[in-house]
Amino acid sequence: MNDERMISTLPYVTGKRVNKELGIVVAFDDQFQLVRSPFNIEESLNRAYDRLYEKALKLGANAVLGVNFACSSQSMVPIVQGTAVVLEDDC
């Protein structure tokens, strides 16, 4: 595996195959922000993606596929989820 993290909304990666599915992982940005707005949601979403990938790594995954997110209009806290997988080169 290289140093680049693999997070995709797609259920596959071209040239790779899923060797093992490790389960669904869910994460959110819990960093306190006095005001959340659509203008800083990208930062919150990136923190949630970071946490999602960290959880997947702890399960032994090297990728998270089928990722999607939701964001409450009231709290503006993004919640992301996907499937932690082990990818390997497709021969």
Question: How many structural domains comprise the chain?
Answer: 1
Residue 11 domain-assigned (yes or no): no
Residue 32 domain-assigned (yes or no): yes
**Residue 18: pLDDT over 90:** yes
Q: Domain containing 37 — which CATH number?
A: 3.30.110.70
Q: What is the pLDDT of residue 4?
A: 76
pLDDT in tens, 32-86: 565 556 667 788 888 999 999 999 999 999 999 999 998 877 767 889 999 999 9
Residue 3 domain-assigned (yes or no): no
Residue 1 domain-assigned (yes or no): no
Closest among 34, 30, 26, 36 to 70, alpha carbons compared:
26
Which tokens in the block code for residue 42?
Answer: 């990208």
> How far, CA to CA in Å, does 34 sit from each of 15, 31, 37, 40, 69?
44, 10, 10, 12, 22
* Parent domain of 37: 16-89
Residue 51 domain-assigned (yes or no): yes
Residue 25 domain-assigned (yes or no): yes
Which tokens in the block code for residue 80?
Answer: 């992301």
Residue 9 domain-assigned (yes or no): no
Residue 33 domain-assigned (yes or no): yes
Q: Please give the Cα distance from 22 to 53 (Å, whole number).
A: 13
